[in-house]
Amino acid sequence: MRIGIIGAGHIGGTLAGLLVRIGHDVVVSNTRGPESLRELVSEVGGGLRAVTVQEAVDFGEVVVVAIPYGRYRELPTGGMEGKIVVDTCNYYPERDGIDPELDSGVVTSSERIRDHLGGADVVKAFNAIHWQTLRDRGLPKGDPGRLGIPVSGADEEAKAVVAGLIRDMGFDPVDAGFLRQGGRKHQPGTTVYGAELSADEIAALLRVADRSRPETAAGDGQTPAAPSRVPAP
Ligand SMILES: NC(=O)c1ccc[n+]([C@@H]2O[C@H](COP(=O)([O-])OP(=O)(O)OC[C@H]3O[C@@H](n4cnc5c(N)ncnc54)[C@H](OP(=O)(O)O)[C@@H]3O)[C@@H](O)[C@H]2O)c1
């Protein structure tokens, strides 16, 4: 699969290495330009290429956004139509600036990104796992030590594609629901955020979060499913 990554720091760089290792055709980008990514490209090898941000968008069937959340308005919107966009970003007010609506929970950071990008199918994933855990803790399917990764989004097909990538990297995806109700269950400050847990343990914590914050009709306008492992294709 062709994957374009925007942001080449801890998470973007780690995902570049993992995605190349599992056999994808990957390009990576940042604001400083391809020349600044020479070291990452030679470290990862395996055909990784550095490109401009717009080229990463145009290239990717899947586009990964791994930049400080507060800079999402800089993301190009052209060419995003119909793409699967993986949002790895987290809102940290001290870094990103205060957004009262995010603080009160009426909207989530992933919805802000989705709205900015227009027609892309946004899937929130990899936001709740530390980059070193992602880099080092992947394990073969069925290994009892395998960790879970929560995923949310409205488009089931897009979510299944991202779930497949997660599995191939050595983790188990856990479906948290849609971007608003689900996404807010794996953002900073939640019980699953940064926790190194199995898929079953994450699913159990997401169910507790459901009970402690019942959904309202003002959510995504869609009924969230109970947290579950994403079925293997
Ligand atoms: N660190 C973690 O363990 C971790 C885990 C899960 C999720 N996250 C989240 O993932 C996101 C990235 O975190 P990180 O730790 O990888 O950050 P980081 O190490 O600071 O890297 C950020 C990258 O984004 C690039 N960038 C910034 N603005 C950009 C823009 N407008 N367009 C294109 N590239 C841009 C930066 O390169 P230039 O400066 O050259 O543009 C840099 O390569 C954050 O939202 C963070 O909260 C982090």
Amino acid letter, residue 220:
D
Note the pLDDT of residue 212.
73
Note the pLDDT of residue 167.
98
**Annotated domain spans of the chain:** 68-229
Note the pLDDT of residue 219.
45
- The helix (run of H) or strand (run of E) holding residue 49 is strand 49-50
| DSSP-derived pairing of the beta strands 25-29 and 49-50 | parallel
Class of domain 68-229: alpha beta
Q: Are 75 and 6 in contact (CB under 8 A)?
A: yes
In testing the pocket of ligand 1, which one of 5, 6, 11 has its CB within 8 Å of the most ligand atoms? 11
Give ∠ CA 142-4-10 in degrees, rounded to 5: 65
From the CA of 198, how far away is ligand 1's center (Å)? 26
Q: What is the pTM of this model?
A: 0.94
**Chunked mean pLDDT (size 10), the chain, 233 residues:** 98 98 98 98 97 98 98 97 97 97 95 95 98 98 97 98 98 97 96 98 94 53 50 45
- The helix (run of H) or strand (run of E) holding residue 202 is helix 199-212
- The helix (run of H) or strand (run of E) holding residue 39 is helix 38-44
Q: Give the CA-trace dihedral at 215, 218, 222, 224, to 10 degrees.
A: -10
Instruction: Report helix angle 10-21 to 156-169, nearest 10.
Output: 80
Note the pLDDT of residue 214.
54
- The binding-site residues of ligand 1, defined as CB within 6 angstroms of any ligand atom, are 6-12, 30-32, 36, 53, 66-69, 71, 74, 88-90, 126-127, 130-131
- The helix (run of H) or strand (run of E) holding residue 25 is strand 25-29
Note the pLDDT of residue 100.
97
| DSSP-derived pairing of the beta strands 172-177 and 228-229 | antiparallel
Reduced to 3 states (helix: H, G, I; strand: E, B; else coil), residue 61 is coil
Note the pLDDT of residue 186.
97
- Spatial CA neighbour of 85 closest among 56, 65, 107: 65
